[in-house]
Structure 1
Amino acid sequence: MATKKLAGKVAIVTGGASGIGLAAARAFVAHGARAVVIADVRADEGRAAALSVGPDVCSFFHCDVADEDQVRSLVDQTVSAHGGLDVFFINAGIVSDSEQTVLDLDLDKYEAVMRVNARGTAVCLKHAARKMVELGVVGGAIVCNASVMGDLPTALAGRMGLGTAEEVEAAMGPYTSLKGAELTPEHVAEAVAFLASGEAGFVTGHNLVVDGGLTGLPSGE
């Protein structure tokens, strides 16, 4: 029987209470991880998620990723409880709950998004990397999740942003609709599991896009 790609690994998943984060936690366990810690600010959902993955292998840690003390504690307590840290999936992120133009930009909402999405990513990167270096981890992986819109050419992203949902779908459809396939959190989770494993041992700094062809959409005027 072949060894599972994440056999014996210890992993942290931020934003793991639902969606891609929860799918990743399940994928890590399916691929042999011995311990997965779901970190999220949603306590009830996070505990339920960990229970659904399996209480013998998955636990929940309440953590605001933009709070450096909380992230440091998350990393330290994971290592203390499980003896190491091999994989850190930085997945937590939020979006604004309103559509705005520059003219009526709500800077408080802007700062709230940037606090989690930008600062939170930096805080997690810092403490995951420091701990892995401190422990002398070989083959460790830090994987960051991000919106695929960031990979689109600027002019194309701008045009898509100005169109209605129906117009964007009509423009994208011929290029991005894989026949008989629909994007699920599990598609992204399996890509993350690959990047976290030894199969990606010679892959670093790579932007692995799981988008059904969206970023291949022609960007000419």
Structure 2
Amino acid sequence: MGKLQDKVAIITGAGSGIARAAAKMFAAEGAKVVIVDKNGELAAKVEQDIKASGGEALAVETDIADEAAVEAMVNATVETFGGIDVLFNCAGGSLQNDAPTTDVDMSIWNVTLDVNLRGTFLCCRYAIPHMKARGAGVIVNTASWAALNGKLKKHIYAAAKGGVISLTKGIAGEYSPHNIRANAICPGSVRTERWLANSDKKTNSTGLLQSLGEAYPFSVGDPEDIASIALFLASNDSRMITGAVIVADGGRSAF
């Protein structure tokens, strides 16, 4: 029996990066995985990969900032698999033009808040009633080390991820009587396709950054590093953990 045997798990942003790694990991542990991504082609490819490995999956093209689209995605999940047990909100990211408060263009505000905070909120809003009907559930939200540290000069992204942490704690307290747990992961730099594309300091084919490697103990992480934490939080192995903020940045914010 897998750690998520017969559980129904929605994973947002699962067409690539951390969420894609999590989708495949959750499926390998027995979950029925709903692959949510704004890019329908990427989502469909992950669905195909999971099914080819003997797992169950459903790809749903969704803009998580669109309330009607999120509601439709959640309804499709319930219609296909009968309920919702796990929600891993992983879609998000920063914009290259994000900047300190007095310098940033205000056009960055809505886009950053929509994908990082509004999308997380909407997915929780529509998934929680189905978890309550199930009698239990687990929510794993993706925040960032940036929400815990004043060094990053992307202030809007940091604010959005700080909001994710506060939302997570509120959900954990409010819905604990319904056996719903909620925790947040704060990754540091992770070697995803997007991260590599945005980096101007790639030094070799593995994408390691010498400057970051010197800055904190464990250098740049891999998508599977964060996916493994999400799996732990989604499973009964973490049944005593809720309202927690798990920092997974290789020590970047600690030293």
Work out whether the TM-score is over 0.5: yes
Counterpart for residue 60 of structure 2? 61
Which residues in structure 2 correspond to 1:1-221 (within 5 Å)?
3-33=1-31, 35-54=32-51, 56-133=55-132, 135-138=133-136, 140-152=137-149, 154=150, 156-157=151-152, 170=211, 173=214, 176-178=216-218, 182-217=220-255
Identity of aligned residues (%): 32
Q: Distance in 1 between matches of 2:37 and 2:212?
A: 36
Q: Distance in 2 between matches of 1:70 and 1:197?
A: 27
C-alpha deviations, 1:96-138, integer Å up to 9, x for none? 13254544432222211111111111111111112211x2332
> 1:25 corresponds to which letter in structure 2?
A
Q: Distance in 2 between matches of 1:48 and 1:4?
A: 23
Please tell me whether Structure 1 or Structure 2 has the larger radius of gyration of its CA atoms.
1
Q: Distance in 1 between matches of 2:76 and 2:238?
A: 27
Answer 1 or 2: which has greater strand percent.
2
Q: 1:99 to 1:205 in 2, by over 3 A?
A: closer
TM-score for both structures, normalised by structure 1: 0.82
Structure 1 contact 51–59 (Cα < 8 Å) conserved: no
Aligned-partner SS, 2:247: coil
Structure 2 contact 37–43 (Cα < 8 Å) conserved: yes
Q: CA deviation at 1:177?
A: 2.5
Q: 1:61 to 1:170 in 2, by over 3 A?
A: closer
Q: 1:105 to 1:215 in 2, by over 3 A?
A: closer
Q: Distance in 2 between matches of 1:170 and 1:17?
A: 29
Aligned-partner SS, 1:214: coil
TM-score for both structures, normalised by structure 2: 0.71
Q: Distance in 2 between matches of 1:126 and 1:53?
A: 27
Q: 1:43 to 1:8 in 2, by over 3 A?
A: same
Q: 1:81 to 1:108 in 2, by over 3 A?
A: same
Q: Distance in 2 between matches of 1:119 and 1:95?
A: 14
- Give structure 2 stretches of 5+ with no counterpart: 154-199, 202-208
Q: Distance in 1 between matches of 2:67 and 2:212?
A: 42
Tell me the matched-pair count.
200
